[in-house]
Amino acid sequence: MRAVFPFSAIVGQDEMKLAIRIAAVDASVGGVLVFGDRGTGKSTTVRALAALLPPMEEVSGCPYRCDPHKDRSQCVASCPIIESQGKREGHQTAVPVVDLPLGATEDRVVGALDLERALSQGERAFEPGLLARAHRGFLYIDEVNLLEDHLVDLLLDVAASGENVVEREGISIRHPAKFVLIGSGNPEEGELRPQLLDRFGLSVDVRTPTELATRVEVIKRRDRFERDPDGFVDDWRAEDAALREQIQTAKGRLSQIQIPDSFLERASTLCMALGTDGLRGELTVIRAARALAALEGDGEVGDTHLKQVAAPALRHRLRRNPLDESDSTTRVERAVAEVLGS
Amino acid sequence: MTLPEDRWERAAQAASLVAVDPALIGGAVVKAGPGPVRDAWCERVRSLIREGTPVRRMPIHVTEDRLLGGLDLVATLRSGKAVLQRGVLAEADGGVVFVAMAERLAASNAAHLCAVLDRHEVLLERDGLGRRTPSRFGVVALDEGIDDQRVPHALHDRLALIVDLEGIAAGPWIREAPETDPEERAWLDEARALLPEVEVPEPVVQALCSAADTLGVPSLRAPLLAMQVARVAAALQGRTVAEAEDASVAAAFVLGPRATRAPAPPETEPEEPEAPEDPPPPEPPRNEDEPPPEDAEQSPPPDPEVLEDVVLAAAQSAMPEGLLLGLQVQRQARSAAGAQGTAGALQKSNQRGRPVGVRPGNPRQDGRLNVVETLRSAAPWQRLRADAEAEKGGQLPADGSGDRDRVRVRPEDFRITKTQRRTETLTIFAVDASGSAAAYRLAEAKGAVEQVLADCYVRRDNVALIAFRRDRADLILPPTKSLVRAKRSLVRLPGGGATPLAAGLDAARALADDARRRGQSPVVVVMTDGKANVARDGSRGGSKPQEDALAAARALREDGVASLFVDTAVRPRPEAKSLAEAMAAQYVALPYVRNQGIASYLSAAAE
């Protein structure tokens, strides 16, 4: 296993780190899109996420990563555990962060007949794909704007339904596939289709740091990591552990966070002021603010949380207005100032 | 100008830097057409890399399965178990990948290269196989691009060295293939051994970062790669601590060519970017006895400020020619991220719409059946299917052969070659930016471009903008479908001067031709009052400018380019009408466009 650059060692990029921590606390926020300049550590940050996630329990030997605390009735019919009437014993495992590489073929994404078994034993067995592997975890697509259209459509469909339906090679199977979609890319290489844009709960704009000291620090850390990966990871182990602890605690506290009516009203006013379509924007603002409050140890969501999450939750939902020169971040910030000022 | 010998020495030095540890510095972008000089350079890299490491050539039309690897069908069927065929990316482990015609590399193939450069492994999820194969290599992108054709951004950003071989004449200074030179190989081997120990002191890192900042190099990868290059340069000198000299080498090869702005005047003389006393040191004589590392450590630590100046001066010596001049003339025309030169920031995406290829589907609905791929996808399942049929029917002939030999193809095997459902459109605006009314016309054009862009956003169309004024036409906005880039480039456009209408039309035609070659269908929108006063040869007055413009218009028609002529004159003149006729364009006067919205005219013109 190659060492992964530690999350806590990433310099700056606070909004990106915040968005990812929020998604780690509350999966229902609905995915993170990281768009921005080249060389800003987008994929480094996402790949560092795995180390921050508290372990989860899954049924031993289950190819669909079932939760042992859920009852059997929801299990996949052809699952070997069910077929063999075996016990559903749980064990602790890392939350999956699955890479969907460009050039992946559809059969590997949705799952298909197990090629090796078909060839060697002439057996017809289903081999779950990347979607099954990402269940209860994260699915990461780097260069998401270069992904082939038919894969994008497929992902949208599964992400929306939380279920993967496979009908191929005479196999008919449906299995749960609930995952948080994380995408990254550079807008200069092409925009994302609007339909896909809307599926991400949070969207982050990453910019190259301009301060010299920050830039020097980024380069020094990167270099130290490349020359001695294991030593570097060791140096940051304690900080990553603290972050993991914080996320675990926040997950536990999530349901106890109070959301006052006044906050709901403000979220609605804000979304109306910005003219975002549908309810998805409001829901995301509320959930993200709640996750943030949980992370920060507050008992109730308030204006400070709203201010921090408004831009990532709403900036990609604004209607395009080509004649408005100001970028979407500025528009959201302006609206937040108006709503909170009044 | 620098002598060809010296330029070749510099280029040869770059080849050594790549060869020491290609993966550490990512590799190089080599700007050169095919020819003996480029061949000699590539041969130099080939012969100097660590013995026994692979060199792979990646043609730009390489298919994904060759690049990433996939199921080896023959071996799989013969052995009865899945056999992986490694792709070019995995095969190149430890060595170098040469990419020919890198300026035409598809964005998706560039992304595959980048993924391996970043992660040092090939992640494969294809043909029923999932594999991770470690692979570390450097990439040499051979850039034959002219004008604004450039290596894809993402790849360019990850390759440390930018080497310009253009204009180096072949001659005796180009050494024979140096594989005959064991001394040089030994020298590189020593550098390799020393490399892990080389320290880059903080002041050097700082100097590189600050030089990158001063020159407007936004990506953080540039100073990071520069630091690694300094490390390699130090190792080549037998030093264990990188010094100012090594930082200068790095700055000259990594930062200078990426510059998008000139440093503030006090620090430099903008008129003399190619100072004769080129700071980057030439390659040391190869017979030089390796200086003991102790010497290096004894040298006093460099003064940070002096260091910064030295590094900056070195970088400047390698700034793209014409950058300073270009910046002065059209500073307003370009965004910081889009300056011209080998910096490559103003690259054109070679993306031809979404990658389309072979995929599963119904040949009756979606496209053309790809027989070979269909058989490929059916092949692994033959045994299984034959067994299943035998179980079900049990009607095999007595000898058991006949039916078993039949190839069993099922609907799910069908692979179709996906033809692009809709060819992409490139809308080229050629805008008259001359004279007193320029500001008004440009504002109009800008609005129109943005409108079309917003409209194209959903359809994924491309837009480009050419402005012509004074004595030439400039490509202000290279073809893009990115709102971000378009908006950035449009913020300020220059205006004023004479009207080189012929030049503007010629530029539009060239761009349209280029778009066709990429499989796009171009539409040209000319916005002018039709009154030319600069001829193709730059002369003014007389009837020549107008004649040239008419000739250029006819050429557009002969090329069969769909066009729309928007007359911007307050009172339309006959010249404009005759021009529109010459290019067989639809003619519209500006007021109508404003009322109707230009988009409707565009779609009409495109048909």
- Which three-class secondary structure state does DSSP give residue A26? coil
- Which three-class secondary structure state does DSSP give residue A33? strand
Respond yes or no on whether ipTM tops 0.90. no
B209, two tokens: 């970062």
Mean pLDDT computed over A25-39: 89
Q: Does B417 touch chain A (CB under 8 A)?
A: no
Task: Name the β-bridge partners of B125.
Answer: B130
pLDDT > 90? residue B158: yes
Which pLDDT score, from 0 to 100, does residue A130 have? 92
Which pLDDT score, from 0 to 100, does residue B282 have? 42
Residues of A in contact with B130 (CB under 8 A): 108
Q: What is the mean pLDDT of chain A?
A: 86
Q: Does B189 touch chain A (CB under 8 A)?
A: no
Which pLDDT score, from 0 to 100, does residue B272 have? 39
Query: Measured between CB atoms, which of A40, A41, A146 is closest to B111?
Result: A146
Q: Does B607 touch chain A (CB under 8 A)?
A: no
pLDDT > 90? residue B482: no
Out of B161-170, B208-217, B222-231, least confident range: B161-170
Residues of A in contact with B383 (CB under 8 A): 118-119, 122
Question: How far away is chain A from the Cα of B197, in angstroms, using its nearest Cα?
Answer: 10
Residue carrying the six token digits 């010249």: B575
Per-residue pLDDT tens digits for B256-303: 888 887 776 543 333 433 333 444 444 444 443 444 434 434 444 556
Query: Measured between CB atoms, which of B209, B219, B451 is closest to A39?
Result: B219
What's the Cα-to-Cα distance from B184 to each of A86, B8, B130, B577, rounded to whole Å? 66, 17, 42, 69
Question: How far away is chain A from the Cα of B66, in angstroms, using its nearest Cα?
Answer: 11
Q: How far apart are CA B475 and CA B150, in angstroms?
A: 14
Per-residue pLDDT tens digits for A199-212: 789 999 898 888 88
Per-residue pLDDT tens digits for B545-596: 888 898 999 888 888 888 888 777 767 788 888 888 888 887 877 655 554 5
Residue A215 burial (CB count, 10 A)? 24
Specify whether the CB–CB gap between B495 and B438 falls below 8 A: yes
pTM for the whole structure: 0.70
Residues of B in contact with A38 (CB under 8 A): 153-154, 157, 219, 221
The band of B304, judged by pLDDT with boundaries at 50, 70 and 90, is low
Specify whether the CB–CB gap between B466 and B428 falls below 8 A: yes
Which pLDDT score, from 0 to 100, does residue A5 have? 93
Question: How far away is chain B from the Cα of A294, in angstroms, using its nearest Cα?
Answer: 34
Per-residue pLDDT tens digits for B31-50: 988 888 898 899 889 988 99
Contact B82 A119 (CB under 8 A): yes
Q: Does B390 touch chain A (CB under 8 A)?
A: no
Q: What is the mean pLDDT of chain B?
A: 75
pLDDT > 50? residue B420: no
Residues in chain B: 607
Residues of B in contact with A203 (CB under 8 A): none
Q: Which of B430, B405, B396, B371 is nearest to B585 (CA)?
A: B430
Q: Does B285 touch chain A (CB under 8 A)?
A: no
Query: Measured between CB atoms, which of A114, A208, A220 is closest to B219?
Result: A208
The band of A70, judged by pLDDT with boundaries at 50, 70 and 90, is confident
Residues of B in contact with A103 (CB under 8 A): 64, 67-68, 108, 112, 125-126
Mean pLDDT computed over A284-304: 94
Contact B210 A123 (CB under 8 A): no
Q: How far apart are CA A21 and CA A48, in angstroms?
A: 11
Query: Measured between CB atoms, which of A37, A104, A146 is closest to B107?
Result: A146
Q: How far apart are CA B385 and CA B398, in angstroms?
A: 19
Mean pLDDT computed over B366-370: 65
Contact B124 A223 (CB under 8 A): no
Q: Give the max Cα distance, chain B.
A: 95
Mean pLDDT computed over B176-203: 83
Q: Does B485 touch chain A (CB under 8 A)?
A: yes
DSSP string, A197-245: HHH-SEEEEE-----HHHHHHHHHHHHHHHH-HHHHHHHHHHHHHHHHH
Which pLDDT score, from 0 to 100, does residue B441 have? 63
Angle at the Cα of B163 (from B162 to B169), degrees rounded to 5? 160
Q: Does B105 touch chain A (CB under 8 A)?
A: no
Q: How far apart are CA B414 and CA B424, in angstroms?
A: 27
The band of B324, judged by pLDDT with boundaries at 50, 70 and 90, is very low
With a pLDDT cut of 70, the percent of chain A lying above it is 95
Which pLDDT score, from 0 to 100, does residue B365 have? 60
A287 labelled catalytic:
no
Residues of A in contact with B457 (CB under 8 A): 191, 194, 320
pLDDT > 50? residue B341: no
Q: Which of A117, A215, A221, A224 to mutate to test the interface with B (most CBs of B within 10 A)?
A: A215
Out of A80-89, A276-285, B159-168, B436-445, least confident range: B436-445
The band of B174, judged by pLDDT with boundaries at 50, 70 and 90, is low
Q: How far apart are CA B94 and CA B110, in angstroms?
A: 19
The band of A39, judged by pLDDT with boundaries at 50, 70 and 90, is confident
Among A266, A280, A331, A334, the one annotated catalytic: A280
Specify whether the CB–CB gap between A95 and A102 falls below 8 A: no
Contact B354 A194 (CB under 8 A): no
Which pLDDT score, from 0 to 100, does residue A108 have? 85
The band of A198, judged by pLDDT with boundaries at 50, 70 and 90, is confident
Question: How far away is chain B from the Cα of A40, in angstroms, using its nearest Cα?
Answer: 7
Which pLDDT score, from 0 to 100, does residue B380 have? 75
CB burial string A195-209: b at 16+ within 10 A, e below: ebebbbbbbbbbebb
Q: Considering only residues A92 and B77, tell me which one the structure prediction assigns the higher pLDDT.
A: A92
Per-residue pLDDT tens digits for B386-406: 777 777 765 554 444 445 567
Q: Does B236 touch chain A (CB under 8 A)?
A: no
Q: How far apart are CA B296 and CA B300, in angstroms?
A: 9
Contacts of A162 (CB under 8 A, 6+ apart): A176, A177, A178
pLDDT > 50? residue B333: no
pLDDT > 90? residue B472: no
Per-residue pLDDT tens digits for A143-196: 888 887 778 878 878 887 889 988 876 778 888 899 999 999 887 777 777 667
Per-residue pLDDT tens digits for B502-529: 889 999 999 998 888 777 788 888 888 8
pLDDT > 50? residue B12: yes
Out of A30-34, A229-233, B231-235, B356-360, least confident range: B356-360
Q: Does B597 touch chain A (CB under 8 A)?
A: no
Which pLDDT score, from 0 to 100, does residue B298 have? 42
Mean pLDDT computed over A252-265: 92
Angle at the Cα of B199 (from B193 to B204), degrees rounded to 5? 135
Specify whether the CB–CB gap between A208 and A37 falls below 8 A: yes
Which pLDDT score, from 0 to 100, does residue A45 have? 92
Which pLDDT score, from 0 to 100, does residue B238 have? 92
Contact B154 A37 (CB under 8 A): no
B431, two tokens: 């805008």
Find the closest chain B residue to A114 by CA distance. Answer: B128
CB burial string A75-105: b at 16+ within 10 A, e below: bbebbebeeeeeebebeeeebbbbbbbbbbb
Per-residue pLDDT tens digits for B182-194: 888 889 999 999 9
Which pLDDT score, from 0 to 100, does residue B104 have? 84
Mean pLDDT computed over B128-140: 89
Bridge-based pairing of strands B69-71 and B84-86 is: antiparallel
With a pLDDT cut of 90, the percent of chain B lying above it is 20
Specify whether the CB–CB gap between B229 and A218 falls below 8 A: no
Which pLDDT score, from 0 to 100, does residue A219 have? 92
